[in-house]
């Protein structure tokens, strides 16, 4: 847990103490999420993201409209293709992607939520790990604490609530296995639109 975050008395509820580091993070997030995310030059956005995110792998592309909650906890591997209007929630826990990951438009990756069984609305979450050559479809939702194995496919609109085995094809709400992807994947993503 970050030193700026601590539990309240006799609970697991987190709150953030305003420190210079937290304030700086909030300003960095505002600059990107409020201003730069809709700037129509990919190279300008990527220049900012290289300094703002925890990792921005070589050959990775992020389209317009993507938002980051605590970008320092978002780590993109090499040659990722991130579609427009995605949300990456790194407020408390890390999000890590492998190489050649394709994340479709409007997908959401969450690391923090609330425990619905908690009488005092406790926070509940965990890191999200996405393996090499994973393909996540349009408007998919990845919930906290999930690991998606190498080469897996997450169908459009699917809600991933638990770990996904390598090369599994998942679809539905909640996501269930519908098939297997071939294991001989060799592609390298190189999606770099100029104005997106």
148 in Cβ contact with 134 (< 8 Å): yes
Which candidate in 21, 50, 114, 176 is catalytic? 114
Which ranges in the chain belong to alpha helices (H)? 20-30, 42-52
Is 79 annotated as catalytic?
no
Best CA proximity match to 178, nearest among 167, 192, 162, 188: 167
What DSSP string runs through 14-67?
EEE---HHHHHHHHHHHIIIIIGGG-S-HHHHHHHHHHHSSEE-TT-EE-TT-E
Helix or strand (DSSP H, E) at 176: strand 176-180
Starting at the earlier edge strand, list the strands of the sheet with 81-82. Answer: 61-62, 81-82, 102-103, 135-136, 153-154, 168-171, 176-180
Q: Which amino acids are annotated catalytic?
A: 114
């Amino acid at each position: 847990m970050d030193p700026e975050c601590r539990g309240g008395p006799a609970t697991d509820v987190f709150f953030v103490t305003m420190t210079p580091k937290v304030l700086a993070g909030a300003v960095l997030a505002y600059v990107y999420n409020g201003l730069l995310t809709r700037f129509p030059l990919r190279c300008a956005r990527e220049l900012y993201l290289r300094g703002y995110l925890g990792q921005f792998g070589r050959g990775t592309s992020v389209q317009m409209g993507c938002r980051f909650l605590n970008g320092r906890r978002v780590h993109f591997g090499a040659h990722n293709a991130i579609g427009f209007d995605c949300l990456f929630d790194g407020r408390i826990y890390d999000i890590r992607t492998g190489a050649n990951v394709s994340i479709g438009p409007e997908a959401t990756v969450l690391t923090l939520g609330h425990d619905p069984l908690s009488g005092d609305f406790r926070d509940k979450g965990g890191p999200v790990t996405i393996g090499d050559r994973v393909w996540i479809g349009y408007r998919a939702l990845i919930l906290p604490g999930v690991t998606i194995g190498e080469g897996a496919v997450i169908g459009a609109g699917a809600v991933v609530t638990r770990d996904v085995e390598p090369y599994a094809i998942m679809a539905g709400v909640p996501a269930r296995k519908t098939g297997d992807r071939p294991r001989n994947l060799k592609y390298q993503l190189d999606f770099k639109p100029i104005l997106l």
